[in-house]
Amino acid sequence: AEGLHPADHPFPQKNLFGTFDHASIRRGFQVFKEVCAACHSLDLIYWRNLVDVAYTEEEVREMAAEYEYEDGPNDVGEMFMRPGKLTDPIPRPYPNEEAARAANAGALPPDLSLITKARHGGVDYIYALLTGYCDPPAGVEIREGLNYNPYFPGGAIAMAQNLFDGVVEFEDGTENTASQIAKDVVTFLNWSAEPELDDRKKIGVKALLLFSTLTAISLWIKRNRWQTLK
Ligand code: HEM
């Protein structure tokens, strides 16, 4: 069965000339780090990618340094642990798929880097999924270990509800209702899947200006050239 159709929400980046809300990307990364990263990887994003997008370089260096990474071999051929740096990827929760499945009753939490592009319905689907958990309708039995979510195709999802009012505390004072938290993490995940979106929109505006000017000039030249012949 297909999942319920998600509601269409007014994310600014959806508009023709709209760009990301960067304060929301910043809060969304916090949600990812504090909630989702316990189970989901974000393989395509490196710490340095967050610089000047949602955090200052100094802030990102500090966050990266809170994690340990294996490096080496050193002069004597040994691997060693060192604090993270800008060039490291966002750390993965599990070393491999087997470990991920073992920790999630057999289900595999997908990498979230491209998830807003990979799922039908995009940001609206992910938002609806995160906020859409409810009791199954009368007569619907959900197998032990699965959870009912009408937006998930099939209705029974291995991921339990993670977002509740107050699960994160935002430093900018934004209210931390479950729906606000979901909106922010979805904005962050949209950025991770389309980090070029803002630049693309800006270039689009410039291209429109440039080509409409060139069109106007060529029409004017054409009129001048042909005027005497008509
Ligand atoms: C699946 C997002 C937190 C475990 C998924 C999917 C998304 C997602 C988009 C894919 C759904 C689909 O296939 O259409 C998130 C976000 C989180 C979060 C944004 C944080 C707010 C977690 C946590 C866990 C977890 C903390 C583990 C405790 C899983 C598992 C699946 C999954 C096991 C696979 C479900 C299945 O295929 O039945 N998640 N997740 N997730 N997630 Fe999460």
Ligand 1 centroid–CA 78 distance in Å is 36
pLDDT value at position 167? 98
Beta carbon of 107 within 6 Å of any ligand 1 atom: yes
pTM, 2 dp = 0.94
* CA-closest residue to ligand 1 atom 5: 109
User: What confidence score (pLDDT) does residue 37 get?
Assistant: 98
pLDDT at residue number 113: 98
Confidence (pLDDT) at 175: 97
1, pLDDT greater than 80: no
What is residue 230's predicted lDDT score, i.e. its pLDDT?
Answer: 67
Q: Is the CB of 100 under 6 A from ligand 1?
A: no
* Distance separating alpha carbons of residues 43 and 37, to the nearest angstrom: 11
- Ligand 1 centre to CA of 142 (Å) is 17
Greater confidence, 228 or 11?
11
- The per-residue pLDDT of the chain, averaged, comes to 96
Compute the average pLDDT of residues 161-166.
Answer: 98
Nearest CA to ligand 1 atom 20: 36
Q: What percent of the chain has pLDDT over 90?
A: 96
Ligand 1 in reach of 168 Cβ (< 6 A): no
Q: What is the pLDDT of residues 128-158, one digit of tens each?
A: 999 999 999 999 999 999 999 999 999 999 9
Distances in whole angstroms, Cα of residue 101 to Cα of each of 36, 37, 42, 53, 140: 16, 15, 17, 33, 26
ipTM for the predicted complex comes to 0.98
Task: Band the pLDDT of 229: cuts 50, 70, 90.
Answer: confident
Q: Does residue 2 register a pLDDT over 90?
A: no
Q: What is the DSSP letter of 155?
A: S
Q: What is the pLDDT of residues 38-92, one digit of tens each?
A: 999 999 999 999 999 999 999 999 999 999 999 999 999 999 999 999 999 999 9
**Planar angle of CA 180, 19, 109, nearest 5 degrees:** 50
> With bands split at pLDDT 50, 70 and 90, how would you rate the model's confidence at 25?
very high
Cross-strand pairs, 89: 46
- For residue 125, what are the contacts with CB-CB under 8 A and spacing of at least 6? 3, 6, 119, 151
